[in-house]
Amino acid sequence: MRVAVLAGGRSSEHDVSLASGEAVRGGLAEAGHEPMAVEVARDGSWRHDGLPVTIEPGGGLLGADTVFPVLHGPFGEDGTVQGLLEIADVPYVGAGVLASATCMDKLAFKDRMAVAGVAQVDYAAVSQGDDTAALERLGLPVFVKPARLGSSVGISKVSTAEELPAALEVAFAHDPLVIVEAMSHGLEAECSVIGNDEPLASEPGEVTFEAEWYDYEAKYTAGGMELVVPARIDPEVRERVRSLAVEAYRRAGCAGLARADFFVEDDGRVLVNELNTMPGFTATSVFAKLFAASGMAYAELVDRLVALALERYEQVRGYRF
């Protein structure tokens, strides 16, 4: 099967995406597919074999049977590329337009979880010019984040009230909408999920790091973090993590795959933090390592994701619009 693998992109995760794309192409080839590399440059242009790629509505993409958009962050993981692929009428791996946009927008995601009563840290939205007095209910420390950005870019930990204005300024440089979150002192756990109508959760892992918090350097510097699988929590709490991962996945409307991130507090309470609909995808990335620990090799994983993309495409096209 011919699979176009999109990698690169306009976001700060461009290089991470290129590494993910290379790994995905290798896994697809091992699984017997014919991968085609499509590089999305930092300026947003697409190229295949050095030539520009153009897309016509209803015309597919390079004759591919399906597309694997291994793009992280804005202009790739936020519903924009997914909408383009819908217009091109080609199957693609991962969540659809709405779920991608929802999970990229931290406030939209948390609001959806809050309506469903899913446990999470307290939070508040802030726009430029807002009165910040309402943030006092969150206590200190808090984390100040751009609402629609990934990879911990633009995030600050605020330990005193005097630090808040500068942290907001940093976040507003990236997004006019900011989320401020109360700090959880629990350990950080992650769980991978694949599937469409019947999601499957991996063995949860525990993220450990030497930094004060899990920032960009901890995520992408060699040795900055360590993944412990299985997570060092009670078995019943691990099952709660898996159950919540599937619940959040379904409530967000995800398809194909996602990585669910959690805080597990000392009393065993599990708090949903966020869903990443296209997490890092090298063989040593958390998403793949968690499924490897659950007995699913990398080539099998990407092969199943292609099958899920085709399954979802056929299901959706069976409806009348």
Task: Summarize pLDDT for 261-312 with one digit per residue, the tens.
Answer: 999 999 999 999 999 999 999 988 999 999 999 999 999 999 999 999 999 9
User: Is 276 noted as a catalytic residue in this protein?
Assistant: yes
Helix, strand or coil, per DSSP, at residue 45: coil
- Our answer to whether residue 273 is catalytic in this structure is no
Q: What are the φ and ψ backbone dihedral angles of 218, each rounded to 5 degrees?
A: -65, -35
Does 313 fall in a domain?
Answer: no
Residue among 10, 259, 304, 312 flagged as catalytic: 259
The answer to whether the CB of 67 falls within 8 A of the CB of 279 is: no
**DSSP label at 92?**
B
Examine the residue annotation and report whether 210 is marked as an active-site residue of this protein. no
Q: Tens digits of per-residue pLDDT, 24-74?
A: 999 999 999 999 999 999 999 999 999 999 999 999 999 999 999 999 999
**Measured CA distances, 261 to 158, 162, 189, 286 (Å):** 21, 30, 6, 11
Does any domain span residue 316? no
173 and 193 share a domain? Answer: no
pLDDT of residue 153: 81
pTM (2 d.p.): 0.94
Which CATH number goes with the domain that contains 144? Answer: 3.30.1490.20
State yes or no: is 217 an active-site residue.
no
Same domain, 106 and 242: yes
If one counts the domains in the chain, the total is: 3
298 annotated active-site? no
Neighbours of 198 (CB within 10 A): 7
What pLDDT score was predicted for residue 320?
A: 83
Residues 175 and 280 in one domain: no
Does any domain span residue 242?
yes
Other Cβ atoms less than 10 A from the Cβ of 248: the count is 28
Residue type, 20: S
User: What is the extent of the structural domain holding 20?
Assistant: 2-93
318 is catalytic: no
What is each CA distance from 212 to 2, 146, 219, 263, 277, in whole angstroms? 44, 19, 12, 15, 26
Q: Single out the catalytic residue among 100, 261, 303, 313.
A: 261
Task: Please check whether residues 143 and 257 belong to one and the same domain.
Answer: no
Q: Tell whether 321 is covered by a domain.
A: no
Q: Residue 41 falls within a domain, yes or no?
A: yes
Do residues 190 and 252 both lie within one domain?
yes
CB 186 within 8 Å of CB 240? no
13 is known as an active-site residue? yes
> pLDDT grade, residue 15 (50/70/90)?
very high
Domain CATH for 42:
3.40.50.20
**Position 312 in a domain:** no
pLDDT tens digits, one per residue of 200-230: 999 999 999 776 656 566 555 666 689 999 9
Query: Do 190 and 230 have their domain in common?
Result: yes
